[in-house]
Structure formats: structure tokens, C-alpha cells
């Protein structure tokens, strides 16, 4: 399984029009070909960004689906004039992810992206795997993913929160109870955080 994280930068003021366009396009048949995991827009961090996450069985399956959906009714959506930039990252899921998670897990979603020193990803997977069950009791753990293509040594993890207050309380409690961060985990070289909210058509709400 792979996950494609596509980040689009929109020119300011276009988000409502973008949402309306995607609502129409996705309902016209694109989702008959493969599932959508999540579709978000930024609330904190870089503004005017849309993030859509697509799971595929493999890189070959991704290519085949992209070829068969190009030119179907409503796809790709007519949003090119709204976009200032586009980026795509291919991630592989951590073995402890719950691949079935969906639905109302938010409405606030924090995506934290770390980079680690070369060769440390296996240790991250090991230490996080030992600690994640206790941490996921405190707030929804949506998933963690690592790169093998493109920018290497990246580790993305996504969390759901019912409110900003809950986020602050959970993070404080996790540290106080020594639940999180995972004991013995490598220290990241860089850290980035974005707070998202779901579009109306996102499977993660």
C-alpha cells in the first residue's frame, strides 16, 4: 500500500470556488475508480493550501488509475487557474496503522512532518510501534507514513482532535504521563506542523 499526499497552493480567495469545483468533480465518477482517504484545507500554518491523500495498492496501480481517470467526466477538475503551485509525496504506511480509520475523527487534524538522519526510520517505526497503543487512547491516531521516494527520511503523522483545547490538553497530558513522545525514539532533525480542517466531501470529517 502507498499513500500519495498532494498539496496544492491556491491563490487567496479561491477556497470556496475550489471546494465547489471538487464537490462536483468527485461526485461525477472519480471515486468509482479508487478511494479517497482525506481532503483538507489549512487552518493554521501556510494558508490557502489544500491537501488530498489518496491510497493505492502500489505504484503501478496508481499509474493505471491515473491513466484511466484522465478525461472522465469532471476529472481532472477545472481548478488550474486557481493554483499557484502543486507538490506530491509518496509515502508508505507504518505497520501499526489502522487502515480502516475514517469518518468523524476531527474536525481538527494536525499533520506533523519530521525528517530524521539517514537510516533512522526503522528505529522510529520500532519505538513508535511500542508506544502508539497508549497514545491513541488519548485522541484519534489517523496514521504515520514514511518516504521511500522523493524527499527521503521524512516521517508524517496525522492526529484528530475535537477542538484546539482538546489538542492542548492531550499533548500536555501525554507528556505528564510519559506516554508520549515515544521513549528511546530518535530525535528528528526538522519538524513541521500544519493544522487542517476537512472539506465537506472528505471521508475524514
Res. 150 pLDDT band, cuts 50 70 90: confident
pLDDT of residue 167: 98
Give the mean model confidence (pLDDT) for residues 68-73. 91
CA torsion sign for 116, 119, 123, 129 is positive
What is the structure's pLDDT at 115? Answer: 98
Residue carrying C-alpha cell 515515544 = 182
**CATH number given to 2-198:** 3.30.70.100
Confidence at residue 111, expressed as pLDDT on a 0 to 100 scale: 98
For the chain, which residues make up each domain, given as ranges? 2-198
- Supply the pTM of this predicted model: 0.96
The answer on pLDDT for 71 being more than 90 is no
134-141 CB contacts, 8 Å cutoff, 24+ apart: 134/179, 134/180, 135/174, 135/179, 135/180, 138/170, 138/173, 138/174, 138/179, 139/166, 139/167, 139/170, 140/101, 140/105, 140/106, 141/98
Contacts of 64 (CB under 8 A, 6+ apart): none
Q: State residue 45 phi and psi, 5-degree precision.
A: 100, -155
Residue 52 grid coordinates: 488530498
Q: Which three cell numbers stand for residue 101?
A: 480509520
Please say if the pLDDT value at position 170 is more than 90: yes
Q: Could you tell me the CA-to-CA distances from 96 to 25, 63, 135 in Å, in that order?
A: 33, 26, 12
Q: Which residues pair with 143 in a beta bridge?
A: 158
Predicted pLDDT of residue 148: 84
Residue with cell string 490538553: 169
Residue 23 has pLDDT above 90, yes or no: yes
In 3D space, the residue among 71, 4, 76, 10 whose CA is nearest the CA of residue 35 turns out to be 4
**Chain-wide mean pLDDT for the chain?**
97
Report the candidate in 96, 97, 91 with the shortest Cα–Cα distance to residue 148. 91
- The Cα 127–Cα 186 span in angstroms is 9
Asked if 149 and 90 count as a contact pair (C-beta separation under 8 A), the reply is: yes
Amino acid at each position: 500500500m502507498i499513500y500519495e499526499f498532494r498539496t496544492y497552493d491556491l491563490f487567496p480567495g479561491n477556497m470556496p470556488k475550489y471546494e465547489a469545483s471538487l464537490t462536483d468533480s468527485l461526485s461525477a465518477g472519480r471515486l468509482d475508480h479508487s478511494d479517497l482517504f482525506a481532503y483538507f484545507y489549512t487552518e493554521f500554518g501556510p494558508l490557502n493550501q489544500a491537501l488530498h491523500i489518496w491510497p493505492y495498492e502500489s505504484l503501478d496501480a496508481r499509474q493505471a488509475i491515473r491513466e484511466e481517470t484522465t478525461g472522465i467526466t469532471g476529472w481532472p477538475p477545472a481548478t488550474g487557474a486557481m493554483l499557484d503551485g502543486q507538490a506530491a509525496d509518496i509515502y508508505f504506511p507504518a505497520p501499526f496503522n489502522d487502515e480502516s480509520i475514517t469518518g468523524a475523527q476531527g474536525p481538527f487534524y494536525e499533520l506533523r512532518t519530521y525528517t530524521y538522519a539517514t537510516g533512522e526510520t526503522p528505529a522510529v517505526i520500532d519505538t513508535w510501534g511500542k508506544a502508539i497503543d497508549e497514545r491513541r487512547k488519548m485522541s484519534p491516531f489517523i496514521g504515520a507514513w514514511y518516504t521511500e521516494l522523493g524527499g527521503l527520511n521524512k516521517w508524517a503523522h496525522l492526529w484528530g482532535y475535537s477542538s484546539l483545547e482538546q489538542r492542548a490538553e492531550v499533548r500536555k497530558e501525554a507528556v505528564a504521563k510519559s506516554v508520549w513522545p515515544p521513549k528511546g525514539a530518535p530525535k528528528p532533525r526538522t519538524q513541521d506542523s500544519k493544522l487542517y480542517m476537512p472539506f465537506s466531501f472528505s471521508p475524514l470529517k
